[in-house]
Structure 1
Amino acid sequence: MNAFNHTHPVLTCESAKALEASVLAEEAAEWAAMKRAGQGIARLLVEDYTELRPVPAHVRILALIGKGNNGGDALITCGQLLAEFPRARVDLILTSSIEELRPLAARALQQLEGRVHSHQVTSQSDVSSITQLLNEVSNGSPFHLCIDGLLGMSFSPPIRPPMAALIEAVNAFEAIDLRASVDLPSGKGDACDEAICFHADFSYATGIAKKPLFAGIADCGRIRYVDLGFFQAPQAGDLAIKESILLDSVLDPIRRLRPAGVDKREFGHLFIVGGSAFMPGALLMAVQAAVRSGVGLVTAFAPASVAASLAAQVPEAMWIPWPETANGTLNPRAMPLLLDRVGMASAVLVGPGMGKDRHTELVTQQIVQQVECPILLDADALRTRVAEVVSKRRPHFGRIVLTPHMGEFMRVAKLAEANYSIEALLDFSASYRVITVLKGPNTRICDGESVIYNTQGGPVLSRGGSGDILSGLIGGMIAQNNVCVATAVARGVMLHGMAAQRLARSQGQVAVHTTQLLDYLPDVMRG
């Protein structure tokens, strides 16, 4: 997948340890990386907290400090937050004596001397005594941030005292706004089935994104990647990878000046087929997103009864009224409307709001069979019998892209239950020769050979219409025909996720409506 030019590998903890050891062979390099990690985590923490509210000047921070480098990262993070918020109060809970801290963690703690409040738990501390300590330290006020720096990728079970009791007590302590883990939640690892692990709202993967993060959303929360430059080192050059994390640099080419004197046709022509008399809004949102994707032309094929009203709302697109069935869906007898014009299209998007009857299924099947350019199938186009036609598509035709959520993926892949394994995604995408965009907390892009994770977005996207906007953006990126389809897909996914984050950081996660995403696209595209 050419999008790998804008990705970094996702590795097992064991592989990550080996790479990190080779890159950070000297203590000076290790200390520099620790400082970059702490600075990066602090910056992202402040940004992520704003999805709740602005960070208060008197922010209260609870940090759980282990004796290793994760503890050091957490301490550097606290120092950065104190530099930005001088009135902050930081409470540290140490699980070992200062003498037991590893040299770099001890160095990081020394830099905080006189600016933090330290508390010690011992192997004799239990959940009850630690809960009492938390109540005393909080003094009736909630902690705005809790930073987990107890255990890292070197952890091997079991969790020893007093960490098990500390994790259990903090997990149960309700007066915390945002819980963050350094690198990965304490208790997580390659082959770890610990009953106890830290429950994070966000996990800040430092230097290398680790595989356990993508196997346990419930404990890991949302994933943030803090790039420390490890993959610029020569030691990282020979990695064979199947999983990777998408970088926002995938958007850099569309943030450049366009050539002078270009024509709109040079930026592609997207056809969108969808809508129904009873569900025109999905088509409308897909078209609204497409016209903001940078594509030169958009033509929408809409049910005749709603085409005029939709055209009035998005006059930038060209609207073709499509004769309807008695159910208000697209009539397959009107296929010549599309086929007579499709030579002008550089990509076709099918599905938003079109309904799930046999008529729309026939329309979609005929498009897959007869249209040569790349096709994106979304929403109501994701049907079992459509997938069967997809698998027989002529090899020289353009790529097919599917954008299912898990329920739709189960349907087209004929799965009896939800399967989040990468093997299921790889097998399906390879068997049907498609690029699959499996939407979810970490949307995955798969071409049958590899999987790319996108960690941008978040719960603000958990509302009707988010997928329609995504399909419009991806369709517009594919239609521009200036990169391979996989890279165009990755751009659309990243653009959608970053716009969602900007919306949430500006307006919160709850009292927003889906089309507000559109207002944040220009800022993301401008960088």
Structure 2
Amino acid sequence: MLKDQIKTAGSLPHSLYRAEQIKEFEGAAAQLAGLTLYDLMKVAGQACYDVFKTHFPNAGKVLVFTGQGNNGGDGYIFAGIAKKAGLEVQLCQMGDPGNVANDARRAKKTWEKGQGKIETIEQANIGATDVIVDALLGTGLSGGLRPEFKSLIAKINQAGKAVLSVDIPSGLNADSGAVNPVAIKAAATVTFVGLKQGLFTGAGANHCGQLYCSGLGITQYFADLAVSDVSRVSYQDLTHLLKKRQRDSHKGQFGKTLVIGGNIGMPGAVRLAAESALRSGSGLVKVLTRQENHNAVIFGRPELMLQYYSEKTASEDLFEDWPTVLVIGPGLGLDDWAQSLLKRVIGTELPCVVDADALTLLASKPVCKDNWILTPHPGEAAKLLGTGIAEIEKDRFSAVRRLQSIYGGIVILKGAGSLICDGKQTFLANVGNPGMASGGMGDVLSGIIGGLLAQGLNSLDAARLSVCIHGDAADLAAQQGERGLLASDLFSYIRKLVNPSC
């Protein structure tokens, strides 16, 4: 039997695909490779078994749930291989075993010829198994789940057993990563041919567990046929942008970042953003804020400069001479002071990062500009699009594209599997951890982006690299534990990551 190298973690491909693309080009790619779709099914079943033995080496009993489609066929092949290897296998079919599709029917007959039994879902002995193999639905799910699938998936999740999902956890939307309303929580998932984009963002990142990928021997043919406009991006892909500095360098060569925000009672956000711009390598950083925040901003970080904005200085030209980059939003507030500053920023053509309260203000009076990077979390994205958070999380890819089409520039939709969109391509950075769910993390990201823009990176490169540095720094900081992770804990790791040669 043809075997294909199984990839995981750092070796996973970069391109991400929609389920329809896999369906459209899988057959043609197989034909170019001299394989039938049943040949692919056999390779997929073997890949599942190889992952099973790698991930669950001590398992002796396995319970396989199959559906009536080709995903179920993969499950039948797996069950036959596992049985021959001496494992105790129970296979339970959802629906009528006599109504199995195409190549899956052939796989079912092969299982039966090997003396394999097909039992009903009601006969499943979940409590007695070591591992459950989920071969129920695959990528064919559209719309909501039928009641019998909802019930079984909930039962599997509640059983506390390790699950290996075949191609994609059942109940998860392969394109969006949304769950409607339940999906298998897998310990591991082995996916085939191409990486499905929904596995990496939103609920998908929380349901697939350790991800493995088998190209089934047709990877190159498929990649030549299917063009993807979504790809994964990592810190390692972008370190070439962080050039080593010359011995005769001076601060004027590395840009001047002006961080705007810090309304009364909110100095911490603007301080975090400003300090992260410094730690990212901006030559100079100034904070434009309320005079009342003087001590809170400057204390303990004398390298920061301060400028105050009030009704008395409203007539001054704030941006003509000094800054090369603007960051607006951290602690900005929503009052007249904040609105006046955002109006001034909208009127300039300087590269700009728009975050936090500035996004809330922007939502009330939408403007489209090419010179900015917007950094909404799902709640801010919902305001910008006039919808709810659930709608954003239902399809994050669609949301980030809509945001970019309305507001222009580069849009970063933060969250599990952050998305970066420039209107032509969408990039996904599966970095970071739950410890980042704490105040100030977004302010730190804005500062990193500002710092890299100040050093001359273009908007797309600065956005992609900043998201990766931010997430990787948080992952390094979380080695001491995710709970209790502070935004300021990232600073020393940011400094390390912007100096890849150190």
TM range (shorter): 0.7 to 0.9
Deviation (angstroms), 1:390: 3.5
Give the one of 433, 458, 461 matched to 2:433. Answer: 458
Deviation at 1:227, TM superposition (A): 7.1
- The correspondence for 1:490, drawn from 464, 472, 481, is 464
Alignment of 1:252 with 2:222, yes or no, is: no
Match status 1:419 vs 2:396: no
Tell me the equivalent position of 1:13. 19
Q: CA 1:241–1:95 in 2, change beyond 3 Å: closer, same or farther? A: closer
Q: Which amino acid aligns with 1:92?
A: V
| Secondary structure class of the residue paired with 1:185 | coil
The answer to whether 1:313 aligns with 2:322 is no
Displacement, 1:26? 4.7
User: Is 1:92 matched with 2:70?
Assistant: no
State the AA in 1 paired with 2:385. A
Q: Matches of 1:238 and 1:101 in 2, distance apart?
A: 24
Corresponding residue for residue 367 of structure 2: 390
Q: Given the superposition, is the C-alpha separation of residues 200 and 313 from structure 1 closer, same or farther in structure 2, using an over 3 Å criterion?
A: farther
**Which deviates more, 209-218 or 287-296?**
209-218
Report whether the alignment pairs 1:208 with 2:214: no
User: Is 1:268 matched with 2:255?
Assistant: yes
Q: Distance in 2 between matches of 1:149 and 1:503?
A: 37
**Counterpart in 2 of 1:352?**
330
User: SS in structure 1 opposite 2:299?
Assistant: helix
The whole-number CA distance in structure 1 between the counterparts of 2:436 and 2:448 is 15
3-state secondary structure, aligned to 1:313: coil
The one of 309, 317, 321 aligned to 1:343: 321
Name the CA shift for 1:76/1:428 in 2 (closer, same or farther; >3 Å).
Answer: same
Cα distance in 1 for partners of 2:75, 2:128 equals 29
Amino acid in structure 2 at the alignment position of 1:299: K
Distance 1:514 1:215 in 2: 22
Cα 1:293–1:231, aligned 2, differ >3 Å: closer, same or farther? farther
1:372 paired with 2:349, answer yes
Give the counterpart letter for 1:120 in structure 2.
Answer: Q
Letter in 1 for 2:371: R
Q: Determine helix, strand or coil for the equivalent of 1:300.
A: strand
Give distance in 2, aligned partners of 1:18 and 1:148. Answer: 24
CA shift, 1:103, in A, is 11
Q: Do the aligned residues in 2 keep the contact of 1:442 with 1:456 (CA within 8 Å)?
A: yes
Greater CA drift, 282-291 or 448-457: 448-457
Once the two structures are TM-superposed, the CA of residue 441 in structure 1 deviates from its matched residue by 2.5
Change (3 A) 1:152 1:427: closer
**1:119 maps to which of 89, 96, 100:** 89
Please name the residue that 2:104 is paired with: none
TM-score by length of 2: 0.72
How does the TM-score come out when normalised to structure 1?
Answer: 0.69
1:60 match? none
| Counterpart check, 1:285 vs 2:272 | yes
Matches within 5 A, 1:129-278: 129-130=123-124, 133-137=125-129, 148=134, 152-153=138-139, 167-173=153-159, 175-176=160-161, 181=165, 183-188=167-172, 197-200=183-186, 208-213=194-199, 217=203, 221=207, 233=220, 236-237=223-224, 239-254=226-241, 257-278=244-265
Q: Quote the Cα distance in structure 2 between the aligned partners of 1:137 and 1:75.
A: 16
Deviation at 1:179, TM superposition (A): 5.6
Selected match of 2:281 from 287, 294, 297: 294
Whole-angstrom CA distance in 2 between matches of 1:159 and 1:419: 18
Cross-structure match for 2:105: none
Give deviations 1:168-227, integer Å, cap 9, x for gaps.
532221x35x76645421355669998774234776655633245478727963687767
Determine the structure 1 residue equivalent to 2:310.
331
Contact 1:402 1:436 in 2 (8 A): yes
1:95 deviation in Å? 5.0
Query: Conserved in 2, the CA contact under 8 Å of 1:17 and 1:154?
Result: no
Q: Is the 8 A contact 1:474 1:489 kept in 2?
A: yes
Match of 1:445, SS?
strand
Contact kept in structure 2, 1:231 and 1:237, CA below 8 Å: no
CA distance in structure 1 between the partners assigned to 2:17 and 2:379 by the alignment? 28
Conservation of the 8 A alpha-carbon contact between 2:29 and 2:218 = no
Q: Give the Cα separation in 2 of the matches to 1:350 and 1:101.
A: 52
In structure 1, which of residues 498, 503, 507 is the aligned counterpart of residue 480 of structure 2?
507
Aligned partner of 2:324: which letter?
A: S
| 1:374 to partner: Cα distance | 0.7
Count, aligned residues: 452
> 1:399 deviation in Å?
0.8
C-alpha RMSD over aligned residues: 4.6
Structure 2 segments unaligned to the other structure (5+ residues): 1-11, 67-72, 94-117
> Is the CA contact (8 Å cut-off) linking 2:200 and 2:430 kept in structure 1?
no
Unaligned runs of 5+ in 1: 1-5, 35-66, 323-329
TM alignment of 1:399-478, pairs within 5 A? 399-415=371-387, 419-420=391-392, 421=395, 422-478=397-453
Secondary structure, counterpart of 2:448 in structure 1 = helix
